[in-house]
Structure 1
Amino acid sequence: MTPPKFESITPSAARLTESLRDIGYDFPAAVADLVDNSVSAGAEHVDVFIEFDGPESYVLIADDGAGMSESALTEALRFGSRRDYEQGELGRYGLGLKTASLSQCRAVTVATRRSVKLPRLYVRTLDLDVVAEADQWLVLKPGREGLPQRALTYLTEGTGTVVIWDKLDRVLPESRPEGGWARRRLDMLAKRTAAHLGMVFHRFLEGTTGGRRLVITMNGEKIAPWNPFAPHEPSRKELPSQRFEITVGNISGAVRMNRYVLPAKEQFSSLEQFELLSGPLKWNRQQGLYIYRADRLVQWGGWNGIRGIDEHTKLARASLDFDTDLDGVFNINVAKVRVTVPVHLRQMLERPINELCSRADEAYRKTARGADLGTPGFRVPRQAIWRGPESPEAAAMKDAGLALRAASMQAGEYAALLRIVAVLEAEAPAVAQGLGLIT
């Protein structure tokens, strides 16, 4: 058989690099993608500087990770780098360093040092103006002379990598980049980015990822973790955890779920903590699922089509954890800011989420009536006593009870259901307990 004929159709470097600038990053997400690389390199400290200097302003992200060899540095600046990612690594497509950086600037310089014994630095620059002029996939080899002094200081102390964004055309205004508005914009971006990093990397900042604690600073100030589940609030309630085994095609893995009912405003230890836990989207929109990929937060709030946002369930939050081997199942995007929960997993999540929301609704309404959240009718044991396998009939009864709760909440008649439950508890407590309407 005659082999087929073919010809190479290399894409236009100038056109493709421009189109890849609009892949879905905002400024905080772009910085977070570079911090992913630092975490994968074993860094313990990551420092972010947003330096205002008019049109010469730049962004610098430095870490004390393992650094790269010269060939690895060149490969890191290739679009779709030719490397495989191990399970648990935060990288995904081999695009993040380039697409994240170029979504905000026209030139990205990477300087790295791999050996403590040898002071040699490797430096490469990917400049879109150079690529556009040559219409070729080129990187520059500028040497250390053009690096900011801050970058040199980092890399003379030990191993690590420094990324510098220049030509901030997507950050600075085209007219008067030296003006007060431009300065205020960079200040605002620094605050937003610090809050974002504190949220998406909160487990790393807390040191709960295998005992390894990460320190991130913004313009010299240490970033505090923002844990959405208020772990230090004594009035927080935790429901029993769940584990789901899922298979899609030839991909299998486990998804872990933890569910929490946060305290109502009056039960928080302080008003400051209540305001802090409202999060960037505020209470209503922060309810829902917090999805973690290898301990890195990629979704913060929302119910992913399982149910709608409701004022009465705003205290309900749940973590959903998966590892990188399930990336294809969750359809995580390049910017790591969008995931899709597969249909069959959504079906498995309905019952535990409805249970969580009914508990949150009950807590909300009891607080509204001035009742004590700590009454026995509300308390949820961290681990229920196991009394043997549940019969199909008992499981069906509990499903019916959850369906009643969910339907009454969606119909706006939950108060009526609570009155019915009170009568059932008095007249037929076994029925109310069998339906799961009392604990």
Structure 2
Amino acid sequence: MAHCLQSCPQQTATGTTTLCAHGSRDDAPTNCDSQRPLWTETKIKAHTDPTSIAQTPIVSTPAFLEATRDSGYRNTAMAIAEMVDNAIQAEAETVEISVSETQREQHPLNISISDDGHGMDPTDLGRALSFGGSSRFNDRLSLGRYGMGLPNASLSQARRVDVFSWRDGKAHHCYLDLDEVAEERGQTLPAVVPIDSPPPLQGRDSGTHVELSRCDRLEYKRTSTIASKLGAELGRIFRQYIATGTSIWVNGELVEPLDHLFQSTPTGATQFGETLTYQLSGPSGFGVVEVRFTELPVLLWHRLAEAEKRRLGITGAPLVSVVRAGREVDRGWFLMGRKRRENYDDWWRCEIRFDPTLDELFGITHTKQQISPSPELRVAIEPDLESVARALNQRVRRHFEMAKSSTPLITAERTASRVKGSLPPLPNCTYGTAGAEIRRTAGPLLSDPDGAFQLCLAELSTTALYEFEFYAGTLTLFLNVRHPVLRDLFRPLALSDQLSDRAHATKLVLVLLAAARAEVRCGNDEILRSFRQEWSDVTSTFLNA
């Protein structure tokens, strides 16, 4: 039996193993004062004596670089987004991306990324191609954090990356080549060397140009397909930066911002409720989380063809977008508690923005392309988000119920258009009582977008039975589904199984369309508007009595 070398009096036997009071095992002589086996001391001495054993690098560079290529970028666009991050952090106003063909049969495509940011000096250029070598390591003020983006993202798509950067009239070049590293077993990057400014960089006072060559892991093989996918993905990921002035070009085409919340068009979504704001604390300090919900115009878009809904990203698309420092890092179905996604949920969107100081709560990794919410984050915001999601689901259901009564409106549109030639002409003017809010939430049925009449169901904020708009020869009538005439008279008739009832619903709508048309004929008259409002209110009182 081995004994404690400090003559410890508290030695006990446990099975076949003898331990002293300090936990020393009988299979390793110990020094209880230091609680460290003597064989560990011997190992430490060997490590500090360079003549005792051969020293081994912590990382086998060729194997590490090959392994890091599988670090998890979902697609080519997510990898290229890392280079766009760097450009934005360098205060670039313009980022130009080029996907071009080569003469190599095995690697037929190259990708380059140029920007007009402040560029890098030789020291920063060398660091930029090393893993974790960024001068902004653990920076929580902007997009980057780990200093892994440029080499990691580049090698995930290509076997060689060249970086040219220039500032103050001086240009430099450095590169990282997987095949050279494997052949030479090198442990360091090639030297940064001064160069003349190559053609893509001419005419700019400062900037950076990244070239990915021998691309063997691109998502697609056609130049046009890659360029198209890049434009769509980058437009969504960097939508907030593009909207505030950053220009991103892909093969000469300007990337347009893709609004996840569908609020960028006059007939798009409307915000639901107030923005939810949370002040949270994480391991790196305090930060803010902001959550916004929007509801898509069911009454406006429900009759679109299924293929068109998919093309526009209405159905089958991720509903929740998570945005870190103005840049999307993930999208899917997150933080909705026990609420499961249903088909009705295609008709609303959610955007969650958070400060980089809360990276740990969101589970952000160095690739910045997915989240893994922590239990603390779930407890803080999930109950509210689940409640809003359920409320929106119910509103969508109700709007679809309203949309079922649309058939008589389509019939009324066609009837009115058919007899238009026998009616007194309308003036050549533009006016109406429908504001922007009504146009965004109402539901033209799109049966004849170029017709003279458009009939819409809408949840108006006023008590008027209808509002209207006359523009470019088309009279659009917005019928207030909250008014008793629509709720108690029109809707039961429109949803009836009897053809005669649905015919009466059509005639009722035609009566209201005739009244709106008469207002247009009489001009933008405040007296007529007051008459319509009082008539609507009195009718509502009578029908609710």
* Range of TM-score over shorter length: 0.7 to 0.9
Equivalent residue letter for 2:183: E
The CA distance in 1 between the partners of 2:307 and 2:256, in whole Å, is 13
Residues 45 and 12 of structure 1: is their aligned pair in 2 closer, same or farther, counting only changes over 3 Å? same
Is residue 195 from structure 1 mapped to residue 232 from structure 2 by the alignment?
yes
Match of 2:329 in 1: 298
Match of 1:262 in 2: 296
Match of 1:23 in 2: 71
The CA distance in 1 between the partners of 2:171 and 2:191, in whole Å, is 11
- Matches of residues 271-282 of structure 1 in structure 2 within 5 Å? 275=309, 278-279=312-313
Give the SS at the match of 1:138: coil
Contact 2:247 2:254 in 1 (8 A): yes
Is residue 153 from structure 1 mapped to residue 200 from structure 2 by the alignment?
yes
- Matches of residues 63-74 of structure 1 in structure 2 within 5 Å? 63-74=115-126
Match of 1:412 in 2: none
Give the SS at the match of 1:153: helix
Contact 1:285 1:309 in 2 (8 A): no
Query: Displacement of 1:98 after TM fit?
Result: 0.4
Give the SS at the match of 1:157: coil
Is residue 140 from structure 1 mapped to residue 181 from structure 2 by the alignment?
no
The structure number with the bigger radius of gyration is 2
Contact 2:282 2:357 in 1 (8 A): no
Equivalent residue letter for 2:179: D
Is residue 326 from structure 1 mapped to residue 358 from structure 2 by the alignment?
yes
Match of 1:122 in 2: 172
Is residue 166 from structure 1 mapped to residue 219 from structure 2 by the alignment?
no
Equivalent residue letter for 1:167: R
* Larger strand proportion of the pair: 2
Q: Deviations over 1:274-314 (max 9, x none)?
A: 748843xx524422x21110010111231246232211222
Contact 1:126 1:138 in 2 (8 A): no
Percent of paired sites with the same residue: 25
The root-mean-square deviation of aligned C-alpha atoms, in Å, is 3.1
Contact 2:172 2:192 in 1 (8 A): no
Match of 2:275 in 1: 241
Instruction: Specify every segment of 5 or more residues in structure 2 that has no aligned partner in the other structure, as ranges.
Output: 1-33, 35-40, 49-54, 404-456, 463-545
Mean CA deviation greater in 215-224 or 256-265: 256-265
Residues 54 and 142 of structure 1: is their aligned pair in 2 closer, same or farther, counting only changes over 3 Å? farther
* Counterpart among 377, 393, 396 of residue 361 in structure 1: 393
Residues 141 and 268 of structure 1: is their aligned pair in 2 closer, same or farther, counting only changes over 3 Å? farther
The CA distance in 2 between the partners of 1:82 and 1:153, in whole Å, is 25
Relative to the length of structure 2, the TM-score reads 0.59
Equivalent pairs counted in the alignment come to 353
Contact 2:335 2:381 in 1 (8 A): no
Q: Which has the higher contact order (CA 8 A, sep 6+)?
A: 1
The CA distance in 2 between the partners of 1:228 and 1:351, in whole Å, is 23
Instruction: Specify every segment of 5 or more residues in structure 1 that has no aligned partner in the other structure, as ranges.
Output: 173-180, 208-212, 378-439
* Counterpart among 340, 345, 348 of residue 377 in structure 2: 345
Equivalent residue letter for 2:211: I
Match of 1:37 in 2: 86
The CA distance in 1 between the partners of 2:184 and 2:336, in whole Å, is 47
Is residue 253 from structure 1 mapped to residue 287 from structure 2 by the alignment?
yes
